[in-house]
A and B are shown apart, each in its own frame.
Chain A
Amino acid sequence: MTDAREQTGGARPRRSVTVEALEEQAATWLLRRNFFDWSEDDQKELDAWLEASSSNRVTYWRLNAALSRADRLKALHQPMRKPASASKQAFPKLARSIAAVALIAVAATGSFLYLSKGKDETISTALGGHKVVTLADGSRIELNTSSTVRVHIDGDHRAITLVKGEAFFDVRHDAEHPFTVDAAGQRITDLGTKFVVRNLSDRVEVALLEGRAHLAPLDDNSKSRRADLAPGDVAMATNRSLSISKASSETIAEKLSWRSGLLVFHNTALGEVAHQFNRYNHGKLVIEGAIADLQVDGTFPANDPMTFTKIAGDILHLRVERRGEDIVLSR
């Protein structure tokens, strides 16, 4: 007669080593391996311990898996300059401890330029670059990756052209000296404001954080409408059309996460995520197969696609492969 013992490979005797003691041993190995110096001899010793019994192995695997998952938080930072109204930080304790990392990122990518009146200058950033330009009046322009602005300041007009890319503007309003930004056939006129402009060649996207601004086509004969923008407005304008949608302050803060060197994703399709990373890096993220619709959530350093792919590969069960400078994701 077969019984459950035979089916399951025999009843176990009462454990000779308690689960508690096993976990203590496994945790000690993990502590030594992860936090202290680790030699080849140590590795041999650990291998022998793992080899010795399946009890040792499963206990070690379980604790190791938990510790590895904690590593994923290395890539997670809170955007630094979230407006107070959107400061619904889910995990403030942790955010505090990693804020220092995000600050370093800002310092490393930011540079400072000073322009004075009467000068006409072109400022550009390379791929992955980030520059802060402060004008004599205290207005600030922050350039994102692969972007160019031309600044012309004369007696009564502060005229900026966003030739390409994306920039954030924090303008000291001065009715006597209007501040305008031209991009892709549109002109944004500041009425005391903070806004971000992205030149997409055939169209321009403007998101307004604070204050007011006026958006109008450069060509007076254009059929495109003109509009006054209020905080939270995200406008998309071409020569022929204009659409305005409302975004939460949190969404707009995320649009500006590049200022802290970060990319923020909320249920973002993997294809779009790859596109975002590729704006900042020479080595491109390449998506192969039908995985472009997989969704991604999280905050990642824009200049470190490898960290992202390691985590995403793990969670989404993707194959991660280096091909020259590029990183290929597939299933």
Chain B
Amino acid sequence: MAEPPDRSIEDGHAHGVGAVVSAADVEAWFVREVLPLETTLMQFLSHNWRHEADIADIRQDVYEQVCEAAQERFPENAKAFVFRTARNLIIDRFRHEQVVSIEAVPDLEAFEITADTPSPERSAVARSELRRVEAAVDSLPPRCREAIVLGRIEGLSPREIATRMGITEQAVSKHLKQGIKTLADLLYGDSSNRRSSP
């Protein structure tokens, strides 16, 4: 006997019949559960994959796969899911290169990912959030920082920013774009700041 469809979704057995979860919900989940793991994920990737140049690609692959999966159903434990996906993608690459060895198998335990580690106290997050964002904005390359602060915090238009900084609007756009990209690395990614200033 067929079960009502909503029941099967509740039970977590929704099968690929198109997106069950709205894109906005996936985005909210991704920002809330996945992005905060980026620093650890980047450490995990560089620990287990020696070609530095591929790391950003693998991270992107991880994000795409977990979000595609989340469209069907949110995994119960986002952290475990993200790192299992990362591990499998690395194993895939090992196979592709045919260099897989026992030692090379990514070690999830070393990153304490399988354990159900609680997320940091919300209050601790709240306490440090503004400081972290401030520190990230302050760490931007000077021209990027100026453009972002004027545009985003003081609310000036690109034309006004251009006048204030004594540069063209095109240059302002370039600084703003670079600022947005670098900010994401500073806020989520590794602290080593891969991206160099323009």
Query: Chain B's nearest CB lies how many Å from the CB of A248?
Result: 18
- Judging by beta carbons under 8 Å apart, are B31 and A61 in contact? yes
Say whether A316 faces chain B, with CB atoms less than 8 Å apart: yes
Q: A8–B90 Cα gap in the complex (Å)? A: 11
- Judging by beta carbons under 8 Å apart, are B180 and A72 in contact? no
- Judging by beta carbons under 8 Å apart, are B126 and A297 in contact? yes
Q: A324–B137 Cα gap in the complex (Å)? A: 36
Say whether A12 faces chain B, with CB atoms less than 8 Å apart: yes
Say whether B131 faces chain A, with CB atoms less than 8 Å apart: yes
- Judging by beta carbons under 8 Å apart, are B130 and A50 in contact? no
- Judging by beta carbons under 8 Å apart, are A4 and B92 in contact? yes
Closest to B60 in A: A19
- CB < 8 Å neighbour of B180 from A8, A67, A74, A100: A67
Say whether A227 faces chain B, with CB atoms less than 8 Å apart: no
Do most interface residues of chain B lie in helix, strand or loop, or is the interface mixed?
A: helix
Closest to A36 in B: B158
- A-side contacts of B173, CB under 8 Å: 31, 35
- Judging by beta carbons under 8 Å apart, are A66 and B92 in contact? no
- A-side contacts of B126, CB under 8 Å: 294-297, 312, 315-316
Query: Chain A's nearest CB lies how many Å from the CB of B70?
Result: 10
- CB < 8 Å neighbour of B154 from A58, A61, A98, A315: A98
Q: Mark B125-141, 1 if CB is under 8 A from A, else 0.
A: 11111110111111000
- Judging by beta carbons under 8 Å apart, are B130 and A73 in contact? yes
Say whether B79 faces chain A, with CB atoms less than 8 Å apart: no
Q: Mark B69-105, 1 if CB is under 8 A from A, else 0.
A: 1000000000000000100110111011000000000
- Judging by beta carbons under 8 Å apart, are B130 and A70 in contact? no
- Judging by beta carbons under 8 Å apart, are A66 and B184 in contact? yes
Q: Mark A258-286, 1 if CB is under 8 A from B, else 0.
A: 00000000010000000000000000000
- A-side contacts of B148, CB under 8 Å: 70
Say whether A11 faces chain B, with CB atoms less than 8 Å apart: yes
Q: How many interface residues does B have (CB within 8 Å)?
A: 61
- Judging by beta carbons under 8 Å apart, are B154 and A72 in contact? no
- A-side contacts of B89, CB under 8 Å: 8, 11-12
- A-side contacts of B128, CB under 8 Å: 297
Residues A61-85 near B (CB distance < 8 A):
61-63, 65-67, 69-74, 76
Q: A225–B24 Cα gap in the complex (Å)? A: 63
- Judging by beta carbons under 8 Å apart, are A73 and B177 in contact? no
Say whether B123 faces chain A, with CB atoms less than 8 Å apart: yes
Q: A94–B142 Cα gap in the complex (Å)? A: 11
- A-side contacts of B188, CB under 8 Å: 62, 65-66
Closest to B125 in A: A315
* Interface locus among A21-29, A146-154, A157-165: A21-29
Closest to A298 in B: B130
Closest to B86 in A: A8
Closest to A92 in B: B138
Query: Chain B's nearest CB lies how many Å from the CB of A282?
Result: 26
Q: A36–B135 Cα gap in the complex (Å)? A: 27
Closest to A297 in B: B127
- Judging by beta carbons under 8 Å apart, are B60 and A30 in contact? no
- A-side contacts of B187, CB under 8 Å: 66, 69
Say whether A39 faces chain B, with CB atoms less than 8 Å apart: no
- CB < 8 Å neighbour of B153 from A27, A36, A74, A296: A74
Say whether A86 faces chain B, with CB atoms less than 8 Å apart: no
Query: Chain B's nearest CB lies how many Å from the CB of A141?
Result: 33
- CB < 8 Å neighbour of A76 from B130, B178, B181: B130
Residue of B128, B181, B187 ringed by the most chain A CB atoms within 10 A: B181
- CB < 8 Å neighbour of A35 from B57, B127, B158, B181: B158
Say whether B37 faces chain A, with CB atoms less than 8 Å apart: no
Say whether B197 faces chain A, with CB atoms less than 8 Å apart: no
Say whether A97 faces chain B, with CB atoms less than 8 Å apart: yes
Provided the pairs A35-B151, A315-B125 are in contact, do residues A70 and B183 lie with their beta carbons within 8 angstroms?
yes
Closest 4 CB pairs of A and B: A66-B184, A295-B123, A8-B88, A58-B63
Between A and B, 7 residue pairs with Cβ closer than 8 Å are A8-B92, A57-B67, A62-B184, A66-B188, A91-B138, A267-B127, A315-B122
Beyond contacts A27-B180, A66-B184: 18 other A-B pairs, Cβ-Cβ < 8 A, are A4-B95, A8-B88, A9-B65, A11-B95, A15-B61, A24-B181, A30-B177, A57-B27, A63-B181, A66-B180, A72-B129, A73-B153, A93-B145, A101-B154, A267-B123, A294-B122, A297-B130, A315-B122
